[in-house]
Chain A
Amino acid sequence: MIKQCAQKVYIGLIFIFMYAPIVTLMVLSFNNSRTRAKWGGFTGKWYAELFSNRSIMQALYNTLLIAVVSAVAATLIGTVATLSISAMRRRSRAVFMSVTNIPMLNAEIVTGISLMLLFITLRVKFGLGTILLSHITFNIPYVILSVMPRMKRLNPSVYEAALDLGASRVQAFFRVVFPDLLPGILSGFLMAFTMSLDDFIITHFTKGPGVDTLSTKIYTEVRKGIKPEMYALSTLIFVTVLILLILVNYTPKSKEKQSSGQNGGSL
């Protein structure tokens, strides 16, 4: 009894720690006064202003564009890299894995400044393109990290069996190997997507004039106080993600059974 009670209190505390900041932000997004110190009454005006604010909308568009394109590109490059790394001999594989791990452990500011210096040296014009290249660069290791374990568990005999049964190499890859890798690839994609979405430091150093993502846009507002439109936007993003997760987790049971049957391994 006591144990159960303690369990509930514990889980409750964890939820409070995790969600209190977000709830505060959501409440403030409906606050009619600009300051957090005063409740000026309930309003939806920040939501209306948010959608008419061109620069925030542009920043949102840039953020999503960069996140999607860089995650897709990094997934592609990362997956191909994993294939070749896993085909290497043990020693060179270890070397290559450490090399790809270093950028993840490296401080972001070092990555950001070195990319900036590289672009200056190469005389690349700073803009959306440089941000995109940087994001692809720092996303690739995360994709390799999440595809590699899947790759290691792959049974090479299945691929060989497919070849024996008359499949071409390409067919064998797309019909046998690829489906087995897919969960790893997808989680790598999602990880790359989120890493890109909330990156600030690297973006700051590699962005060009007039190109902002949400994180750099919010940071420029620090001196004069962050505008409540940003609270509204964050609330909307949070709610969207929540709805997506709920939808994904409550899709028809039969489909889920089918897919988990095909693909029993856990991530």
Chain B
Amino acid sequence: MKKHLVSTLFSKSAGLILSAALLAGLLGGCGSDGASAGAEGANGSGASADADGGEVIVYNWGEYIDPDVLDMFEEETGITVIYDEFETNEIMYPRVEAGASKYDVICPSDYMIQKMIDNDLLQELNFDHIPNAKANIGQQYWEQSEQFDPGNKYSVPYCWGTVGILYNKTMVDDVVDSWSILWDEKYADNILMQDSVRDAFMVALRLNGSSMNTLDPDELAAARDLLIEQKPLVQAYVIDQVRDKMIGNEAALGVIYSGEAIYTQRENPDLEYVIPKEGTNVWIDSWVVPKNAPNLENAEKFIDYMCRPDIALLNFEYITYSTPNEAARELIEDEDIKNSPIAFPDLSQYSLETFTYLGDEGDELYNEMWKEVKSE
């Protein structure tokens, strides 16, 4: 194939075109190098030099904002949004820590925020410049945030949710209200577990009545043994495939994030989501501002804009993850969603925890135990 391709391309005219292309490419290459050097110079001089509102550099999860909101923000404030996305906290962290690029606003999860605070990467927010935050975000979310951000100094909640069991009503006839159903042999090969160390251990630790942030080796060993015991019953350890597998009736029970549960139910009405009575993980993704943010003022404006009720509502409708913005919730027209026990569960009913950063040694302990489970 390649020989044909090359020999056909080879003719005098092709040769001419190629040399022209080489030349053009050379010039183009130089041009873009020059451009990047110029940009570097502009950056070196400090704050953005744009005549209008300047810029704000945002680093957020993929597909985690309504794209229209960014356009509206640019139009209303005159600030140019440079928008970048990451796929996991762990991928975001080294880029920010190494200082490869300076960001103004980042949206990490709970335990990662704590790690960033510990490592002195974040700056305290001036809430006088973010009036919408305190006005619209519900009190209970601030309280929940205290677990990883004591005093609520660094972070403004953006999205949150719980982790629970999604089950198929046509395939499960027991009452689902406890993590223990994931150990029921009746459902062998019909159970989907999360393939991530903290989420998997959370299930076993809560079932044993331990904290999901425990560093006690005995409690962890007990959880590990429980997970090993469960292993023959598990169809697969998955992350985002839970969604498709449950919609396709490929499994009866799966551990899933509440934000996904609403979407799966829309696609397959036989599915039901439950928060087990032993309690679960409440996760929160919040806006933070790194220490080296080049455009602090615009970062505050951006966070404040995200906390505006109409904007938070647009984002909620796009992402389907629960919003901590009480004022936005009031604006939801669909009563079913507004009062949905999945999107907005009554948090006081459950014993809830949020992941905290365990330190490098703690992480290692968990990973070691998880390896033993997976390799058993």
Q: Bound pair: A and B?
A: yes
Give A contacts to B, CB under 8 Å.
33-38, 54-55, 68-69, 72-73, 75-76, 116-117, 119-120, 123-130, 132-133, 136, 179, 182-183, 186-187, 190, 204-205, 208-212, 217, 219-225, 227, 245, 248-249, 251, 255-256, 258-260, 262-263, 266-267
Contact B64 A125 (CB under 8 A): no
Chain B contact residues, majority secondary structure: helix
The answer to whether residues A73 and B57 also contact, given A126-B100, A245-B1 and a CB cut-off of 8 A, is no
Q: Which of B77-85, B168-176, B355-363 contacts A (4 or more CB under 8 A)?
A: B77-85
**Residue interface bits B231-270, CB-to-A below 8 A is 1, else 0:** 0000000001001110111100000000000000001100
Q: Is the CB of A248 within 8 A of B247?
A: no
Chain B residues lying within 8 Å of A54, measured Cβ to Cβ, are 67
* B67 pairs with A245, CB closer than 8 A: no
- Chain A residue at minimum C-beta to C-beta distance from B64: A224
> Told that A179-B10, A223-B62 touch, could you supply 17 new A-B pairs with CB distance under 8 A?
A35-B247, A35-B248, A37-B244, A37-B245, A69-B28, A72-B25, A73-B25, A124-B40, A129-B36, A132-B29, A187-B6, A209-B84, A209-B103, A210-B57, A223-B240, A224-B240, A224-B319
Question: How far apart sit A125 and B85, CA to CA, in the bound complex (Å)?
Answer: 18
Evaluate whether A258 and B57 lie within 8 angstroms (CB atoms) in the complex, with A38-B247, A73-B29 already known: no
Interchain CA distance A35-B33 in the complex, whole Å: 42
| Contact of B51 with A by CB under 8 A | no
What does the 1/0 interface line of B31-47 toward A look like (CB < 8 Å)?
01101110110011000
- Determine whether the beta carbon of A259 is less than 8 Å from that of B40: no
Contact between chains at B244 and A36 (CB < 8 Å): yes
Check B2 against A125 for contact (C-beta < 8 Å): no
Whether B62 contacts A119 by the Cβ 8 Å rule is no
The answer for the CA separation of A70 and B240 in the assembled complex, in Å, is 35
Contact size class for B?
A: 35 or more
Chain B residues positioned under 8 Å from A133 (CB to CB): 33
Inter-subunit contact A38/B267 (CB<8 Å): yes
Q: Which 4 pairs, one residue from A and one from B, show the smallest C-beta to C-beta distance?
A: A129-B36, A72-B25, A37-B248, A220-B62
Min C-beta distance of B244 to chain A, whole Å: 5
Contact residues in A for B64 (Cβ distance below 8 Å): 223-224
Instruction: Report the separation of the CA atoms of residues A72 and B31 in the bound assembly, to the nearest whole angstrom.
Output: 14
Type the 1/0 row for B1-43, where 1 means its CB is closer than 8 Å to any CB of A. Answer: 1111111111100010010011011101100110111011001
CB-defined A-B contacts under 8 Å, sample of 20:
A35-B243, A35-B267, A37-B250, A54-B67, A69-B28, A69-B29, A123-B40, A125-B40, A126-B100, A127-B36, A220-B62, A222-B62, A223-B63, A223-B88, A224-B61, A224-B319, A248-B8, A249-B4, A256-B7, A267-B6
- Please report the C-alpha to C-alpha distance between residue A249 and residue B1 in the assembled complex, in whole angstroms: 8
B32 touches A69 (CB 8 A): yes
**Across the interface, which residues of B come within 8 angstroms of A126, CB to CB?**
100-101
Q: Collect the chain B residues with CB atoms within 8 Å of residue A209's CB.
A: 57-59, 82-84, 101, 103
Establish whether residues B40 and A33, one from each chain, have CB atoms under 8 Å apart when the complex forms: no
Q: Is the CB of A129 within 8 A of B33?
A: yes
A123 pairs with B44, CB closer than 8 A: yes
> Which residue, A119, A129, A179, A251, has most C-beta atoms of chain B within 10 A?
A129
Do the beta carbons of A256 and B8 come within 8 Å of each other?
yes
Complex Cα gap A203–B22 (Å): 23
Indicate if the CB atoms of A120 and B98 lie closer than 8 Å: yes
User: How far does the Cβ of A64 sit from chain B's closest Cβ, in whole Å?
Assistant: 13
Q: Given the complex, which residues of A lie within 8 Å of B101, measured CB to CB?
A: 126, 208-209
Known: A120-B99, A183-B10, A186-B9. A132 touches B18 (CB 8 A): no
Roughly how many angstroms separate A75 CA and B25 CA in the complex, as a whole number?
Answer: 10
Chain A residues with CB under 8 Å of B376's CB are: none
Complex CA–CA separation, A259 to B14 (angstroms): 11
Q: Does B187 contact A (CB under 8 A)?
A: no
With both chains docked as a complex, state the minimum distance between the C-beta of B322 and any C-beta of chain A, in angstroms: 14
Contact A220 B63 (CB under 8 A): yes
Mark each residue of chain B from 74 to 108: 1 if its CB lies under 8 Å from any CB of chain A, else 0: 00000000111111100100010011110100000
Q: Which chain B residues lie closer than 8 Å to A249 at the CB level?
A: 1, 4-5, 8
- Across the interface, do A183 and B35 meet the contact criterion of CB distance under 8 Å? no
Nearest-neighbor residue (CB-CB) of A191 within chain B = B2
Do A116 and B98 contact each other (CB < 8 Å), given the known contacts A220-B86, A267-B2? Answer: yes
Distance to closest chain A CB from B216 (angstroms): 31
| Contact A76 B83, CB 8 Å, known A186-B6, A186-B9, A223-B88 | no
Minimum C-beta distance from B98 to chain A (A): 6
**Minimum CB–CB distance for B251 against chain A, Å:** 11
**Neighbouring B residues of A224 by C-beta, 8 Å:** 61-64, 240, 319
Q: In the bound complex, do residue A255 and residue B26 qualify as a contact, i.e. CB atoms below 8 Å apart?
A: no
Q: Report chain B residues within 8 Å CB of A129.
A: 32-33, 35-37, 39
CB of A119 within 8 A of CB of B10, answer no
The answer to whether A186 and B10 touch (CB under 8 A), given A76-B25, A126-B101, is yes
Give A73 to B351 CA distance when docked, in angstroms: 60
- Residues of B contacting A227 with CB < 8 Å? 63
